[in-house]
Amino acid sequence: MTSRGIGDVRRVLGQPKSWIDQTFAKPAPPLPDVRGDALLGFVCDRVRQWESQVENEAAEYHDRPLGPAMVRYALDIRRLCTALRLVLAQYGEMRDADPGASRVIRRTVQELSTAWRNHPDWRDEWVS
């Protein structure tokens, strides 16, 4: 048997592979299937983009001056993204189970979309 080195042993034993894996949990809950819903797709894409952006920035700056502050900022944004994911997942479940009841939470998703009102893909019709 050939030794793979200590790094491989750690991975086999379940330790994270990188600083990112150690600092940021995998985003959860899963985002719902968009199924042609442009508003839902837009907000889900923005949440994913926000999660990866703060992760990348934290990784870039974590070992520089003010790096710990940047990591705290990134963790705060990731917690906000988790809250957004909860709302989006609930909307996806309600949309499938009871389309009539999902109108209330869809309104919440519409209002959340205004956070990205300056994005070129955002549509005025989503909030009217």
Say what the pLDDT of residue 8 is: 54
In which domain, by residue range, is 84 found? 18-127
Please check whether residue 5 lies inside any domain of the structure: no
For residue 122, what pLDDT band results from cuts at 50, 70 and 90?
Answer: very high
Alpha carbon of residue 29 to chain centroid: 9
Please check whether residue 8 lies inside any domain of the structure: no
Please check whether residue 60 lies inside any domain of the structure: yes
Give how many domains the chain has, as a whole number. 1
Residue of 23 and 77 predicted with greater confidence: 77
Please check whether residue 10 lies inside any domain of the structure: no
Please check whether residue 111 lies inside any domain of the structure: yes
Please check whether residue 42 lies inside any domain of the structure: yes
Give the ranges where the chain is alpha helix by DSSP (H).
Answer: 6-12, 19-23, 38-61, 67-97, 102-113
Please check whether residue 2 lies inside any domain of the structure: no
Phi, psi dihedral angles at 117 (to 5 degrees): -55, -30
Please check whether residue 6 lies inside any domain of the structure: no
On the 0-12 / 13-18 / 19+ scale of CB atoms within 10 A, 97 is exposed
Tokens of 95: 């949309």
ω before 29 within 30° of 0 (cis)?
Answer: yes
pTM for this predicted structure:
0.83
Say what the pLDDT of residue 53 is: 95
In angstroms, how far is the first alpha carbon of the chain from the final one? 66
